[in-house]
Amino acid sequence: MVNAVPSSPESPFLAACRGEEPGRTPVWFMRQAGRSLPEYKQARAGTSMLEACRTPELVCEITMQPVRRYGVDAAIFFSDIVVPLAAIGLDIEIVPGVGPVVAEPLRTEADLKRLRNLDPCDVGYVTEAVGLLRKELGDTPLIGFAGAPFTLASYLIEGGPSRDHAKTKALMKSRPEVWHGIASRLAAICGEFLRVQVEAGAQAVQLFDSWAGALSEADYRTYALPHSTAALAGVAESVPRIHFGVGTGHLLEAMAETGAEVSGVDFRIPLDEAAKRLPDKVLQGNLDPALVLADDAALTAETDRVVAAGRAAKAHVFNLGHGVLPDSDPGKLKLVVDRVHETTTR
Ligand SMILES: Cc1c2[nH]c(c1CCC(=O)O)Cc1[nH]c(c(CCC(=O)O)c1C)Cc1[nH]c(c(CCC(=O)O)c1C)Cc1[nH]c(c(C)c1CCC(=O)O)C2
């Protein structure tokens, strides 16, 4: 008889995502790779953000940096939400300190044809980088991700980052058929981008609808929900799906209707309150990223509070309520990881 290969130790992150009781509360951070790490700044020196995303060895190195330094329970693939848009030929740049900037914003029906489907060959560097990472990561799971249609559309329609998303909302209301055309094409692109990552070996995905909080619940349901649902459908049944937005307390139930197994909660809503509203969902969150800049006593107390509130959920994946701020001290993030692990290991 052939000896069975010892199964790898159960990942606390994947167990929690499935709604099972993990051996400890898993923790990872949105934007855990990036400017808060000196080794990131060194690795990125002289390479533009998009160029870095297209260089598999560099993607692998940068993705691994926070895993090595913090001992987090999951890695997030180093890329950006606009990578698939640049890959289909849109002229997009990521400007340091600003964000994605689009040379010719989308505004009219004629612009629809610029949103062609994503072919896996367009992002061969993603497939290659995920393959490298699976070997490097061992038992640590890799999270793939994409931007949701509304958040991507906002960059494409506004031409860059926007506080009020005014042009996007105006287009939505005055030309709904153009809006739905743009958003459904973006859904196909981000669904394909997620599929590429999962097929290459990502064991979970996160859909970032960072700016969905700018919509009322009624508008979210009409203009965003169907497209986010379509984007996530492509990887349903294959891996756990996390869904996240900022300032989306009024949208928790509506966003949960996309079918994602895990609901990201930003820091404005306590996890125990979110758990009451979403009893069937695994919750991810929600330490205020600003607290990482507080003193150790305040940071530890707040970490403990989030862990305690998370016990009300079906299962809890500890995270920040939004991405790591660039001024964060990596030592403080390590303190958070260690505290969560020490206080929750069964
Ligand atoms: C809205 C959004 C974007 N990109 C992303 C979102 C959704 C998440 C969120 O709400 O923050 C998603 C993203 N962007 C990046 C990741 C990598 C994985 C991770 O560690 O989380 C992820 C998951 C790398 C990145 N994406 C970007 C950086 C900084 C680039 C640099 O180092 O110069 C990183 C590490 C650039 C980027 N790209 C974007 C912005 C707003 C910026 C910041 C611009 C700046 O302040 O310089 C668009």
Please write the tens of the pLDDT for every residue from 9-24: 589 999 999 999 999 9
Ligand 1 center to residue 155 CA distance, Å?
Answer: 13
- Interval 102-142: pLDDT, tens: 999 998 999 999 999 999 999 999 999 999 999 999 999 99
User: Which numbered atom of ligand 1 lies nearest the CA of 151?
Assistant: 1
Is 339 assigned a ligand-binding role in the annotation? no
Cβ(192)–Cβ(118) below 8 Å: yes
Which domains are assigned to the chain? Answer: 12-344 (3.20.20.210)
Q: With pLDDT > 70 as the criterion, what percentage of the chain qualifies?
A: 97
Distance from the CA of 99 to the center of ligand 1, in angstroms? 7
φ/ψ (deg, to 5) at 235: -115, 15
Mean pLDDT over all residues of the chain? 96
Predicted confidence band of residue 1 (pLDDT cuts 50, 70, 90): very low
Beta bridge partners of 95: 99
Residue 71: other Cβ atoms inside 10 A: 13
Give residue 185's pLDDT band: very low, low, confident or very high (50, 70, 90).
very high
Cite the DSSP H helix spans in the chain: 12-17, 38-44, 49-53, 56-70, 83-87, 124-137, 149-158, 166-174, 176-200, 217-219, 225-233, 252-256, 271-277, 296-310, 330-344
CB of 159 sitting under 6 A from ligand 1:
no
Residues 132 and 200: their CA atoms lie apart, in Å, by 10
Residue 155's pLDDT is 98
The yes-or-no verdict on residue 260 having pLDDT over 90 is yes
Query: What pLDDT, on a 0 to 100 scale, did the predictor assign at position 7?
Result: 38
First to last CA, the chain: 35
Q: Average the pLDDT over 305-321 and give the result.
A: 98
The pLDDT > 90 percentage for the chain reads 97
Nearest to 25 by CA among 70, 73, 71, 68: 73
Supply the residue whose CA is at minimum distance from atom 34 of ligand 1: 34
**Residue 1 or 15, more confident:** 15
Of 132, 25, 125, nearest to 74 (Cα)?
A: 25
pLDDT bucket at 3, cuts 50 / 70 / 90 = very low
Alpha helices in 222-270 (DSSP H): 225-233, 252-256
CA 144–ligand 1 middle distance (angstroms): 14
CA 13, CA 247: separation in Å to the nearest integer?
24
Closest protein CA for atom 26 of ligand 1: 80
Structure tokens at 160: 């860059």
Tell me, what's the ipTM?
0.94
Residue 80 marked as a ligand binder:
yes
Q: Which conformational region is residue 313 in: left (phi greater than 0), alpha (psi within -120 to 50 degrees), or beta?
A: beta
Given a cut of 50, whether residue 242 has pLDDT beyond it is yes
Stated pTM of the model: 0.96
Element (H, E) at 75: strand 75-76
